[in-house]
Chains A and B, each alone.
Chain A
Amino acid sequence: MAGQGTTVATAPVETARRAHVGNGKARALIGPGLCTFLIFAVLVALGALIFPSSYFYRVGTLVWINTLAVTGIVVLLGYVGLVSLGHAGFFAIGAYATAIGPNYGIPSPLAMAGGVALAGLLALVVGRPILRLSGYYLAIATLGLGMLIWMVLSKEAWLTGGPDGMTVSGMNARNLFKLVGLKLKSAEAWYWVAGFVAAIGAAIAVNLANSPSGRALRAIHDSDVAARSLGIDVARAKSRAFVISAIYAAVAGALLALANGYITPETGGFMHSVEMVTMAVLGGAASVFGALVGALILTALPQLLTVFADYEHMVLGAIMVVTMIAMRRGLVPFIADLWNRRKS
């Protein structure tokens, strides 16, 4: 079988969607993308209802930002079956552009857009040669790319502040809400913005899965050769997926920079790339709901385990190994299967 090497442990997109996007009628009526957006919106609001303090809002913001970045991984890994170990590089490009822009008189929104465009452009340029590779070769090429970006961020201290990182000045989400007469704390404002963007990101990814382009991507996942025989330009389709996922990462990075007000080169480090992929496979790389569940668990867990900070690496590593051995398709499909089996 072709693609044995690249066949990711992912659930059929169909199954995951059917199990988690309510019933089919609602989807047919308003479309799967809008349906996903509404579910995410409800979850964002639910969080706001139960959060007792700014600290929770800050963690919640992080969850949505990670969900957004991981949705990009879902497009690349879950839909097409391509593994990237360098996506933190794109994340960091978005973050640093947003941080550096205001220092040179470029307003935050423009700097953000510039960073996202830069990440997309870089993905487009390096994507063509890199995506000819598959399996281990692709993993290592993306890893090398990510490391190079990380090195530039750590070494060019005049621009990036070096290993110590840099503060981010400029935009505050509070002001957005002030425009419509809402007075929110800064942490709350960023929570809503991050949640809103993550919901849009999820809707777009679901739209894609159900579209002609998305079917082409999923076809490549299952059989490269068959996809070609149907007239699908595989190189072009892969390149598009790579650019889309880089843009997701860069937008998430820009949001993080603004919401945190501070960034370090570690946002572009190997560990962060690995975390993103781990979130995707833990939740289930085939669906945006997997991205959400993975991001939620791996963002909240370290907060709960602060007393065990010394063991954080061991816990993360163990989760990666155990997930891949015991539930290869991730938590969401795993639980969906259990649920379906109980019902029938």
Chain B
Amino acid sequence: MSLEIDGIGIAFGGIKAVDGVSFTAKPGEVTSIIGPNGAGKTTLFNLVSGVYRASSGTVRIDGRDVTGLPAHELARCGMARTFQNLQVFPQMTALDNVMTGCHMQEKSNLLADLLGLGPARRATARSRDAAMAALARAGLADLAHRPASEMSYGQLKRLEIARALVTGCTILLLDEPAAGCNAVETREVDDLIHAIAEEGKTVVLIEHDMRMVMRISSHIVVLDQGRKIAEGGPEEIRTNSQVIAAYLGVHGAAEAEAAAHG
């Protein structure tokens, strides 16, 4: 499903953290949001996913207005996300973390849950299978029974992706998924995101790794000080003088260049 953002904005104490940003993310594509620190990227995610309430603008999913819906209802509309500064469940195992992502598929009522009846057990068994599959896909199958509090930063980033995937989402917001990953892991995350988009999901990505962004994005939106300063394909963005001035800099442009040709 496509995600259409139109003129969205929010102000904190008079400062416009996000100001009238519009873009559309299409199914089967990776749309990246880039920009310097403090440009409002994560705030934009928080607005779209219902953590904050927008003071202006609309969010639509396939034309349906979902602006202002609470986060859990947006999730039921098929939106899932990961978090920049990690929101895992540290006291649970990796497996339980991902099983929690199956919540919306679990058709079991409270009474069955309390009494340990068939529906509760079957739902749990199904969730376990789905979660194991997702863990394997994120390359974490070996760590299924490890408490999340004992996993590395890069592993937790991927754990969040696995958890988001099992929700059965059609729109996936990824906030710096490659942060804290080494080169090999970054490549794996890269491939995983690519494969997710190939399945026809709408992927929106915040990322600082320009090589990765240029490699997998179909569409790039550039934010600076809460406003959109440019939008377009990787080629367009790489050569946009305004973007180079505000964010990429000469070094970043060179790196992006290298990615494009490397």
Query: Which A residues fall within an 8 A CB radius of B?
Result: 1-2, 10-15, 31-34, 203-204, 207-208, 210-216, 218-219, 221-223, 225-234, 240, 244
Q: Tell me whether A14 and B89 are in contact (CB under 8 A).
A: no
Given contacts A214-B113, A215-B96, contact A230 B89 (CB under 8 A): no
In the complex, whether B187 has a CB less than 8 A from a CB of chain A is no
19 cross-chain CB contacts under 8 A:
A1-B87, A12-B93, A31-B116, A33-B115, A211-B108, A211-B116, A212-B106, A212-B108, A212-B113, A219-B89, A222-B91, A226-B87, A228-B50, A228-B71, A228-B72, A229-B83, A230-B72, A230-B100, A232-B72
Most central of A31, A204, A211, A233 by chain B CB within 10 Å = A211
Q: Tell me whether B113 and A14 are in contact (CB under 8 A).
A: no
* CB closest residue in chain B, given A81: B91
Cα(A106)–Cα(B101), bound, Å: 47
Cα(A136)–Cα(B260), bound, Å: 53
Q: Tell me whether A34 and B75 are in contact (CB under 8 A).
A: no
Contact of B83 among A34, A226, A227 (CB under 8 A): A226
In the complex, whether B90 has a CB less than 8 A from a CB of chain A is yes
Beta-carbon contacts under 8 Å, B88-113 to A: 88-93, 96, 99-104, 106, 108, 110, 112-113
Cα(A225)–Cα(B113), bound, Å: 23
Beta-carbon contacts under 8 Å, B169-196 to A: none
Beta-carbon contacts under 8 Å, B22-62 to A: 49-51
Interfacial chain A residues near B140, Cβ < 8 Å: none
Cα(A14)–Cα(B90), bound, Å: 12
10 shortest interchain CB distances as A-B pairs = A211-B113, A231-B75, A222-B89, A226-B87, A207-B116, A228-B71, A212-B106, A231-B104, A33-B116, A213-B113
Cα(A48)–Cα(B93), bound, Å: 39
Cα(A13)–Cα(B123), bound, Å: 20
Q: Tell me whether B72 and A233 are in contact (CB under 8 A).
A: yes
A173 vs chain B, min Cβ distance (A): 24
Interfacial chain B residues near A232, Cβ < 8 Å: 72, 100, 103
A28 vs chain B, min Cβ distance (A): 11
Interfacial chain B residues near A223, Cβ < 8 Å: 87-89
Given contacts A204-B114, A223-B89, A240-B110, contact A215 B100 (CB under 8 A): yes
Contact of A222 among B88, B99, B113 (CB under 8 A): B88
Q: Tell me whether A208 and B100 are in contact (CB under 8 A).
A: no
Interfacial chain A residues near B87, Cβ < 8 Å: 1-2, 223, 225-226, 229
* CB closest residue in chain B, given A203: B116
Cα(A227)–Cα(B100), bound, Å: 8
Cα(A13)–Cα(B71), bound, Å: 27
Cα(A33)–Cα(B124), bound, Å: 14
Interfacial chain B residues near A2, Cβ < 8 Å: 87
B158 vs chain A, min Cβ distance (A): 15
Beta-carbon contacts under 8 Å, B111-128 to A: 112-116, 120-121, 123-124, 127
In the complex, whether B157 has a CB less than 8 A from a CB of chain A is no
B12 vs chain A, min Cβ distance (A): 17
Q: Tell me whether A226 and B167 are in contact (CB under 8 A).
A: no
Cα(A214)–Cα(B167), bound, Å: 17
* CB closest residue in chain A, given B85: A1
* CB closest residue in chain A, given B91: A12
In the complex, whether B147 has a CB less than 8 A from a CB of chain A is yes
Q: Using an 8 Å CB-CB cutoff, how does the interface string of B218-238 with A read, 1 for contact, 0 for none?
A: 000000000000000000000
Q: Tell me whether A218 and B91 are in contact (CB under 8 A).
A: yes
Q: Tell me whether A216 and B103 are in contact (CB under 8 A).
A: yes
Cα(A37)–Cα(B50), bound, Å: 42
In the complex, whether B253 has a CB less than 8 A from a CB of chain A is no
Cα(A33)–Cα(B113), bound, Å: 11
Cα(A212)–Cα(B72), bound, Å: 16
In the complex, whether B70 has a CB less than 8 A from a CB of chain A is yes
Q: Told that A14-B147, A211-B114 touch, could you supply 5 new A-B pairs with CB distance under 8 A?
A: A214-B113, A222-B91, A228-B75, A229-B49, A229-B72
A181 vs chain B, min Cβ distance (A): 30
Interfacial chain A residues near B90, Cβ < 8 Å: 222
Interfacial chain B residues near A31, Cβ < 8 Å: 116, 121
Interfacial chain A residues near B96, Cβ < 8 Å: 14, 215, 218
Q: Tell me whether B89 and A231 are in contact (CB under 8 A).
A: no
* CB closest residue in chain A, given B77: A231
* CB closest residue in chain B, given A15: B147
B1 vs chain A, min Cβ distance (A): 16
Given contacts A31-B116, A223-B89, contact A230 B121 (CB under 8 A): no
Interfacial chain B residues near A218, Cβ < 8 Å: 89, 91-92, 96, 100
Interfacial chain A residues near B208, Cβ < 8 Å: none
